[in-house]
Structure 1
């Protein structure tokens, strides 16, 4: 028996199996239960595909696809139509690039609410890059952290990742802080310790970890997960 051929065949079978599992997971995550808040403040529940790719209904704007039920016809909604949306366990709000900053071709786009406290942390991967609206939004409901609501209207858990979602957008993930999207500023290595300590000030043990330098901008998602875990333990 040729053990090398057997091993190669086994490895090929395992590889194909992994590809199938990835394809199934991607398909399962395509449409997720959620809702959007339109520009008039109306909440509409249904199913959202946050990473449609291609051209949206309005040039140079991010967009999502939405359908009222699993079997109904989908339609597209641009940032001009929305205040926010929730898909799976991820919350997104419409934002304008702050100050003199520009986000590629898109004046308005969706940013993820990574931390929902008085001082909020927003995340975006080069908002607007890649040409196609919404390409950089990749919702990962299986990795989401806890619950929480965004004000009176924006519910849903806070998720973890924004990836390229197959859209070819591999820009560095950027973080902003502010009381709302109109007051966003860049979160940097230099201001990380002060800003995150203030944002997470209700949990002294978390602040202590920040002050000792255990967390930095590169491990911010781990810090947010830790903060949510500590906060949840005090609410039980």
Structure 2
């Protein structure tokens, strides 16, 4: 009986998520114009430009949607999650000319970004899934979508291997890949205003494999100071 109830809840949750693929959002185009409406991160089909990520947008729920390629945009926000357009880092995991979106995980002087590695087809590479919150931004970004819905990697991009890759930098033009080798130095720099967090990084309680827990802990410490 309990198993049946649990399965029913999972199905209902999945159905709810599917119905909420369109999320309130705002985009800023390359000319600096802002438009608010509804955004779908993981649209079906091919994008307007080959080898570029894309989203779908509509002004109201009743309007017909249209596709926006990465090179049309500077950034967009879905619920409380912020994404910016980025070109493939030199010697990075993307295709040489590829333009796509990366999520701003931590909006600090040295920012932390996340993207899905490999090379593939269309879509933004980000999907909506229940109970998954990938990062909790600070500053102007906030984190997680309410109601148990979160932004997760691995939507329509279909990138090879579906590998999650973190980058750091003062902006996307200067971003470099976060690795096991530079993790301690970079995350100490990003989170240096929280001594307790830095201590745990140096004690190797956190690493690239559990960076999501580190981000959650870091933001919990910041939130505690604001109370």
TM-score scaled to structure 2, two decimals?
0.86
The residue number in structure 1 matching 2:27 is: 36
Distance in 2 of aligned mates of 1:17 and 1:106: 45
Alignment of 1:36-185 (within 5 A): 36-101=27-92, 103-104=94-95, 107-126=98-117, 129-134=119-124, 136-139=125-128, 143-144=132-133, 148-149=138-139, 155-159=140-144, 161-165=151-155, 168-169=158-159, 170-185=161-176
Measure, in 2, the Cα distance between the counterparts of 1:29 and 1:105: 34
User: Could you report, residue by residue, the CA deviation over 1:137-167 in whole angstroms, capped at 9, with x for unpaired residues?
Assistant: 1245865465644xxxxx5423475332366
The number of residue pairs the alignment matches comes to 220
1:197 equivalent to 2:182? Answer no
Q: Name the TM-score, length of structure 1 as normaliser.
A: 0.83
Contact in 1 for aligned 2:85/2:99 (Cα 8 Å): yes
Question: Quick check: 1:120–1:179 contact (8 Å CA) kept in 2?
Answer: yes
When residues 161 and 189 of structure 1 are mapped into structure 2, their CA distance, relative to the original with a 3 A threshold, is farther
Partner of 2:203: 212
- Whether the 8 Å contact between 2:37 and 2:59 is mirrored in structure 1 is yes
* Greater Cα offset, 163-172 or 203-212: 163-172
Q: Which runs of 5+ in 2 are unaligned?
A: 145-149
Unmatched segments (≥5 aa) in structure 1: 1-6, 150-154
C-alpha contact 2:53 2:157 (8 A) present in aligned 1: no
Q: C-alpha separation between the residues in 2 aligned to 1:14 and 1:194?
A: 47
CA distance in 2, matches of 1:166, 1:57: 14
